[in-house]
Amino acid sequence: MGKLLTYVKRKSGETFSSLMVRNYRLYYIGQIISTSGTFMQTVSQGWLVLKLTNSGTALGVVVALQYLPILVLGPYGGVIADRYPKRKILYFTQSIAGLLALILGILVATNIVRLWMVFVLAFLLGLNSVFDNPTRQTFHIELVGPDKLRNAVTLYSTLVNLSRVIGPAVAAGLIATIGIAACFILNGISYFAVVIMLALMHTDEMHLSPPVPPFKGQLKEGFKYLLSTPIIGFPLLMMALMGTFTYEFQVSLPLIAQNVFKSDASGYAFLTSAMGVGAVVGGLFFAGRKRGAPFKLVTAALLLGFAILTAAFMPSLLFAGVAMVIVGFCSINFSSLGNTTLQLECSPEMRGRVMSFWAIAFLGMTTIGGPIVGRFAEVAGARWALALGGIAALVAAGIGAVTLRNLQTVKVNTKEPVEM
């Protein structure tokens, strides 16, 4: 029994090692509150658009507008993340996101909201994310250092997916009782929890990266670095394909809930929450593991693709929810492996720009995929819209496998050590 307790204590320490760092712990607390609010808004925004239009295409367009700025301006956001202190950037971006949520809540509460207003606010939120996303991604290593990076990234992904459980559940209850407006207003307030936690951090305990001084051609330098570093390029290529078609759950899941299972907002919240439960379990499972090897990305994408295909053709809402638990488990493995691989393999002075490309692949490509998946759902049905994401993940796994095999061949031919 003593050995078992010792083992459990050791594994728990490995799983939650980043939370032993005070600054990361403060950040984590703020993000639990804020990200739960974000998923409240995700559910509420999707349901609001369906109430206004009953159109899958409109739902895809609003999602696309939210990520269009990341697709177009993402690399510039990475340059800013490399140039300036990340905590100062986050003070600004988190405050702006909270203000935009409050504005949408007021518009809905006063019953003057129109579809074009939702479009405009979604676009402004995306513009804010251009700078917020690469800064948040690269802030983790400044909080915990490189040795705990994968643990911090995985625990953060677990947090996001725990919020995916909490946020939609709260949103469904609020929509049924108080109304949609309350979700947006509470989300707006939640962002200020992050601002408070940022203010409480100790700068002298951070692993700060020296800011990169401005010079002409920094954007071009980022693109050159990406093209000349295959170990950075192949995870981004995989995520670009999956970001376009696989991570379109904001479009496919509400359509499946409404059109396939004839459910209301609670059905959409159930599917989203089920995915979150799987990701939380997966996050706790993978958090204690050391740095992953690149080839594991291929396996993770393969498993995610099969899980999504299974979920797409479940006969009932309950069984679809069970399948979405598996989707969440596989998804967090892929995303945390890709994120960690990029941050550890790239040069520190390029980290912001590299992670801005990750944001483009993960979020920005939604701009292209959102309307396609929405339209595809109208033509082929909601089930096939979700299945399209599973097929894309399988194709991405194939691309990754071929790329890694080619890299291995090159290293063998040049007599370099192969680290796969």
What is the model's pLDDT at position 419? 43
What is the model's pLDDT at position 2? 56
What contacts 351, CB < 8 A, 6 or more positions away? 81, 82, 138, 141, 209, 343
User: Would you state the structure tokens that stand for residue 230, as one six-digit string?
Assistant: 């295959």
342 near 358, Cβ under 8 Å?
A: yes
399 near 77, Cβ under 8 Å?
A: no
What is the model's pLDDT at position 291? 56
Q: Which residues of 132-169 are buried (b: 16+ CB within 10 A; e: fewer)?
A: bbbbbbbbbbbbbeeebbbbbbbbbbbbbbbbbbbbbb
Count of CB atoms within 10 A of residue 244's CB?
A: 23
Q: How far is the C-alpha of 257 from the C-alpha of 269, rounded, in Å?
A: 9
Tell me the CA end-to-end span of the chain in Å, nearest whole number: 38
What is the model's pLDDT at position 289? 62
Count of CB atoms within 10 A of residue 277's CB?
A: 18
Closest CA to 137 of 306, 363, 386: 363
What is the model's pLDDT at position 283? 77
What is the model's pLDDT at position 396? 93
- In this structure, what DSSP letter does residue 209 have? P
pLDDT, one tens digit per residue, over 187-236 is 999 998 999 999 999 988 888 777 776 666 777 777 788 777 777 888 88
Fold of 14-201+217-413: Growth Hormone; Chain: A; (1.20.1250)
Q: How far is the C-alpha of 220 from the C-alpha of 229, rounded, in Å?
A: 14
What contacts 9, CB < 8 A, 6 or more positions away? none
What is the model's pLDDT at position 411? 55
271 near 326, Cβ under 8 Å?
A: no
Low-confidence ranges of the chain (pLDDT < 70): 1-14, 213-216, 287-294, 408-420
**Burial bucket for residue 215 (CB in 10 Å: 0-12, 13-18, 19+):** exposed
